[in-house]
Structure 1
């Protein structure tokens, strides 16, 4: 099956975080590929990945990076595909530097950004983009959001039943 989402990690240390994105994509039955590359340590590999992604069937790229977080921007510079940046909490600024790097792209090279360590939302956003042309995936996303609402209702019912102290003690 051709991958629809490309997940690019700046380092293997990003894999535990990005496993959350993989779980969402698996739940929604969206095919993906995961690659380790680096805007700084493997710039040619990164550029080639970005340039070849569309021809390989990729529809959206999710790129995770910490610190200066150039990976999503470099990928966006070499592709017309939507790129979603996941700023990774790391370093002295705990991901704020990565968030700013991803959000402050120059005109003509847009990169969407999710919250620091927002791998789940990156996968959901990628799914929503793909669902624009895939009604069955749109249905899965509607069901997914309905499940989220049911979880909130269940938690609220439990809170009302147990009270604040009982709820907290039962967690």
Structure 2
């Protein structure tokens, strides 16, 4: 799922197909920015080897930022961060048990040396915006997308 035939710059990974509806806001925002991305569904607990392969090859595939969405124990972002030098943005999924607080707390309690940025529960849109802001630190065109978005927000 990349915009056009461009190499994806953002990798989106989620632990379950059930996370897809909440993550559509991330994909929609990236589409609006014209930022190419790829999507992967793989659980850190049920398919750890697949997560390892995907995360450890992210740089070679051209990714620059990763967005990882998971619920409950929510280890996906941390596991991905352990296997890549890329910045990882975690999106805690709302859960039926604790409303997503379990996911949020799991994501923000990372061990030293394995940082993961974290947005709000079901904060997929903000994850996309943060990913583009990260891309913008070294790319003027990406930075301009954020500047333009903030300007249009100020006019509303």
TM-score by length of 1: 0.87
Distance (Å, rounded) in 2 between the aligned partners of 1:146 and 1:7 = 27
Which residue of 1 is the match for residue 80 of structure 2? 75
Which residue of 1 is the match for residue 125 of structure 2? 120
1:44 aligns with 2:49: yes
Which residue of 1 is the match for residue 26 of structure 2? 21
Which residue of 2 is the match for residue 160 of structure 1? none
Distance (Å, rounded) in 2 between the aligned partners of 1:108 and 1:62 = 18
Distance (Å, rounded) in 1 between the aligned partners of 2:107 and 2:148 = 31
Shift of 1:147: 1.1
1:143 aligns with 2:148: yes
Provide the secondary structure at the position in 1 that maps to 2:12: strand
Provide the secondary structure at the position in 2 that maps to 1:53: coil
Which residue of 1 is the match for residue 3 of structure 2? none
The structure with the larger Rg is 1
- Show structure 1 runs of 5+ residues with no match: 152-171
Distance (Å, rounded) in 2 between the aligned partners of 1:149 and 1:8 = 32
Which residue of 2 is the match for residue 3 of structure 1? 8
Q: Is the 8 A contact 1:64 1:88 kept in 2?
A: yes
Q: Cα RMSD between the aligned structures?
A: 0.6
The one-character-per-residue Cα deviations of 1:56-101 (angstroms, maximum 9, x if unpaired) are 1000000000000000000001111100000000131110010010
Distance (Å, rounded) in 2 between the aligned partners of 1:42 and 1:94 = 25
TM-score by length of 2: 0.95
Runs of 4+ displaced beyond 6 Å: none
Distance (Å, rounded) in 2 between the aligned partners of 1:84 and 1:56 = 18
The one-character-per-residue Cα deviations of 1:111-159 (angstroms, maximum 9, x if unpaired) are 00000000011000000000111101111111101111122xxxxxxxx
